[in-house]
Structures are given as C-alpha cells and as structure tokens.
A and B are shown apart, each in its own frame.
Chain A
C-alpha cells in the first residue's frame, strides 16, 4: 500500500511522513497570504490537522499538495476575514505631493491599511497576483476557481483600492 493510501486509512506514520514532506510548502503558501510568520505557523498546523480529519474525502490518486493548499487557502481567507480592520482612515485633501521619505512611509502604511480592509477573497487574489506575482493559473487552482474569476477579483480589488485611496487623498507615485 502506498503512502497516500495508508494516509487515507488513518495511519499516523503515513500522515507524519506527509507532514514532514509538505509543511514547508503549505507554510510558504500561507505566509504569502497572511504575511505574518507566527500566524502562518499556526494556520499551517491547523491546515494539516484539518487535512488529517478530511482524509476520507481525499482520493489516493489525487494531488495531495494541491488539495492541502486549497484547505490552507480557505483557512487563510477565514483568518483575513476575522481580522479585517473595521475603521477607515481619515480623509485628506487630494493631490498632496509626497517627496518626504517619512510621508512616503506613512503613505505605504495607509495603502496597507486600505488593502487589509478589502474583502478577504479580493485581498488574497490581489496579494498573490500583484504582490507575489504568481501565475493566475496557480492562484486559480489554489482558490478552487477559474482564471477569469481570479482576474475579476484582482480587477475589483484594484478598483476599490483606487477609490478608497483617492477618497483619503492618497496618490501613489
């Protein structure tokens, strides 16, 4: 019996082997989304625990890595949803020039803040596509959706972000 079959039968040794093999990949994926190493470690542990609990739903001829990554993505989205900042930042007159590095840093922080207020699904798609610059197909597979849907989410994220930044008087250079 191969490793994945043993895993679906609930063998702890097989599960442990899979954990050692995939924990790095799952962590790397989650940390790209949540951008916090401590949170990413916790979510990796939770992902692998859920992977074990859902072992009956996994087909041994399937792609274990892709399956685990989808579970990880859903957990990361839930995390972003739960930790979404509620308050918006105060608005300022538009078109203020920002040559000062301190002002630029503040601008970056406010862009981050505005970004974190986006709906979780849009945030994940935009992070992976625009910040991490991953291929749309890879993102779509991990989100369990189509390339078109990912592109639409990224488009909507940029549009909402642009509107909010404009309202707050932030003009990115």
Chain B
C-alpha cells in the first residue's frame, strides 16, 4: 500500500460524505421526559413474575394464603 493510494482513499471519503448540519433542530427535552414517564409507569417484568409465582403457589398450596396473610 502506498501513501499516495492512502491519500486518494482519504480524499475520496471526504468528498463522498458531505458535511452534516450539527445544529439540533428542536428541543429534545419533552421526548426524553415522555420516555422517562412511560418507563417509570411500567411495571418491571420481575414484579409480574413474582405475582405469577405467588398465584401458582396459592393454587398449589392454598394454606400458604394464611401464612401470607399473617405476614402482611
């Protein structure tokens, strides 16, 4: 590989990718806060897993309800 070939590739790249406008066109704060709210409201998967597991346990061993109620 020659330095000349390298230079040609570098120049070709520069020409092939026109400059981009790096100015942000709008405030992204509302989008971020909306995403924030949406994720905060959602129940995490492990909570659902816990609910499911509890339901299965109560169906399999109904007496556990009493133990559970005692600890509430």
Contacts and interface: CB of A to CB of B under 8 A. Distances in A.
A pairs with B: yes
Interface residues of B, number: 29
Contacts of A112: 16-17
B16 A16 contact: no
Nearest to B22: A28
Contact of A130 (B1, B14, B31): B14
Interface of A is mostly: helix
B17 A131 contact: yes
Nearest to A131: B17
Interface of B: 1, 5-6, 8-17, 20-29, 31-33, 35-36, 39
A108 B5 contact: no
Given A20-B29, A28-B22, A115-B16, 11 more contacts: A19-B29, A23-B27, A23-B32, A37-B21, A41-B26, A44-B24, A45-B32, A108-B12, A111-B16, A172-B9, A173-B12
A49 B22 contact: no
Given A19-B28, A111-B16, A49 B5 contact: no
A165 B27 CA distance: 40
A105 B61 CA distance: 73
A19 B32 CA distance: 9
Nearest to A108: B16
Contacts of A107: 12
Contact of B17 (A49, A127, A158): A127
Nearest to A159: B1
